[in-house]
Amino acid sequence: MELIDAAAAAERLGIKQATLYAYVSRGVLRRRHGEDGRRSLFDAAEVEELARKGRPRRPPGASELVIESRITRLGADRPYYRGRDAIELAREESFETVAEWLWGGLPPLPGEPGQPDAWASDPDGVAAARRALPGGLSPLENLQVITTVLGATDTLRFHLDPASVAATGARLISGLVDALPQAAPATLAGGTVAERLWSRLCPAEPEPALLKALETALVLLADHELAASTLAARVAASAKADPYAVVLTGLGVLSGPLHGGASYGAERLLNEIQDPAQASRLIADRLRRGERIPGYGHTVYKHGDARGEALLALVEAAAPGHPRVEAALAVRKETVRRRLPAANIDFALAALTTVAGMIPAAGEAIFAVARTAGWLAHAMEEYGRRTLLRPRAVYTGP
């Protein structure tokens, strides 16, 4: 049983702590006591169930736009994809299956009678995209070029019905991966999305446990409600921009250091630590300069990101004693000692890419390929509506 304190329970329900204790007195919630006998604790699952029954959430903040969606719900420490725990999905399902779940069960699974491989890329589009890559770009910058070229060569991109968008999504994600420059021998070409992506980001052959960690990362990053890039993608889709334009919009926002680029900062931090004893000084230096610790803290999960914990545990189990694992554990220990915010999935993603020996900024590409599935799920919702997302500004000028 996972127990959370009164502040976390009240925040999840969108109520004041006084209202929380009123729930206790009315028998709506059961309170438990901490070891000291004074601290009030609550069953996280019971709080989640109460939230699902329609108890009031906190009202939107001044900078928040509320959009109804049936895709992802954010729990106390993790997302739920169409009602299913994302961490459990990552344990049990492939990235392709989860993407199809986000898209409402489409496209047809590979191997069905009369159906081609739904997750095959378009050879002509991939060849054109490879020719267009100028060289010297980061993986995320390569993906932006690839998306543009794949869109320009896909004559089916303007079909916006759900089945067509889902089929385009599978073809697009496969094309994004297959068009990336090869980092490892091409023996994995034609495999799963995770296998093919590994060969584009890592020069070494994959160890099964680390390949599973990569697949887990893809699932856990596939969607996260209305993150900044997803909101931008939805705005594009509400204007009926085609799926490639939607993904290109998302990629532009994702590149920011406060979003998908956060793992690159964490990656550089881990690579700086040659000895775990250095972690304390490096963190102190960053704090002294007024910098954030990359991969720590989250705007939604104030008490810890379970996605990051699950992914980091897989990486640690796959490579016990690895220098980058030891560096990650040293950073986590130091942040706990300083009572800094908890690690998030960006930090765990950086641990994966550095332990695996992937090319620089590989985490950004993993994030982008994964989130493409979510962007297109949200685009499908917008394509089914007739209204344009058009926020209004509060004018404060002369």
Residue with tokens 């250091």: 257
Q: Which two tokens stand for residue 356?
A: 């695996």
Residue 85: in which H helix or E strand, if any?
strand 84-85
Residue 330: in which H helix or E strand, if any?
helix 323-337
Give the strand pairing for 32-33 and 72-74: unpaired
Helical pair 345-356 and 323-337, crossing angle rounded to 10 deg: 160
Residues annotated catalytic, as ranges: 298, 346
State the DSSP code for 188. G
Classified as helix, coil or strand, 315 is: helix
Q: Are 108 and 158 in contact (CB under 8 A)?
A: no
Taking CA atoms, 50 is separated from 57, 60, 83, 147, in Å, by 11, 19, 15, 42
Q: Which two tokens stand for residue 220?
A: 């856990």
Give the strand pairing for 40-43 and 3-5: antiparallel
